[in-house]
Amino acid sequence: EAGVTQFPSHSVIEKGQTVTLRCDPISGHDNLYWYRRVMGKEIKFLLHFVKESKQDESGMPNNRFLAERTGGTYSTLKVQPAELEDSGVYFCASSPRLVLSQGWSGANVLTFGAGSRLTVL
Amino acid sequence: SQQGEEDPQALSIQEGENATMNCSYKTSINNLQWYRQNSGRGLVHLILIRSNEREKHSGRLRVTLDTSKKSSSLLITASRAADTASYFCATDANRDDKIIFGKGTRLHILP
């Protein structure tokens, strides 16, 4: 089974430019998450998709960030225009949708991609 | 607000010793998980403990949970060089809720 794939692994752009990060989750995983880690700080939640719908986008920093998940498959995270403080590692994670039949035994365990390192100069 | 504060921020121990990392959180939780991140790689799930559990074991890992103190600890026994990594605790308030991570503890195992 293929894991979560992220592209590119590293992107270096200048302030004001646009970058699009892509995430391919594990096939069949309805949940898809984006996180960001700035050096030395916490892994910050950005948003959560359930299939193609945004379940929670409370962590998106501002309207320079746009996330989409076409057809409930892969997802893209676009930063336009990029600012210096956007530098960091962007992680994508996916998990299967929990079902009622799982009851108490259900738990949301995430599978992460290797991350996309963004450097804004 | 984010929750999940690991303590200490960094830890260096000799190979073979035990490593203990702590995590505190702010609000009530459904589950608490621990993840490991090796440099340049994604996070890997290690172990999960539910809010009605107090202790759980998996191989050399032992996790405890004290919901009254809103804290958890991760113990790695007989540490190995390969255990060098960053360790994060993660919590979710509801089963389908977002999972919140902390800053992590950087663990370095000295040969």
Residue B2 pLDDT: 45
* Residues B90, B34 contacting (CB under 8 angstroms): yes
Please state the rounded mean pLDDT for residues B60-73. Answer: 96
Please report, for residues A3, A14, A37, A101, B36, the alpha-carbon distance to residue A106 in angstroms, rounded to integers and kept in the order given: 21, 44, 27, 8, 21
Q: Residue B43: list chain A partners with CB under 8 A.
A: 43, 91, 93, 110, 112
For the cut 60, the answer to whether the pLDDT of residue A101 exceeds it is: no
Please state the rounded mean pLDDT for residues B91-97. Answer: 75
DSSP one-letter code for A94: E
Percent of chain B with pLDDT over 90: 74
Q: How confident is the model at residue A106 (pLDDT cuts 50, 70, 90)?
A: low
User: Hey, of A7, A26, A42, A91, which one would you mutate to test binding to chain B, going by the most B CBs within 10 A of its CB?
Assistant: A42
**B6 Cβ partners below 8 Å, 6+ apart?**
B21, B22, B23, B87, B88, B89, B102, B103, B104, B105
Question: What is the three-class DSSP state of B82?
Answer: helix
pLDDT per position as a tens digit, B38-56: 988 899 999 999 999 999 9
pLDDT per position as a tens digit, A6-51: 999 999 999 999 999 999 999 999 999 999 998 878 899 999 999 9
Q: How far apart are CA B35 and CA B37, in angstroms?
A: 7
Q: How far apart are CA A59 and CA A36, in angstroms?
A: 10
Please tell me which residue of chain B has the smallest CA distance to A49.
Answer: B98
The values of phi and psi at residue B65, to 5°, are -140, 130
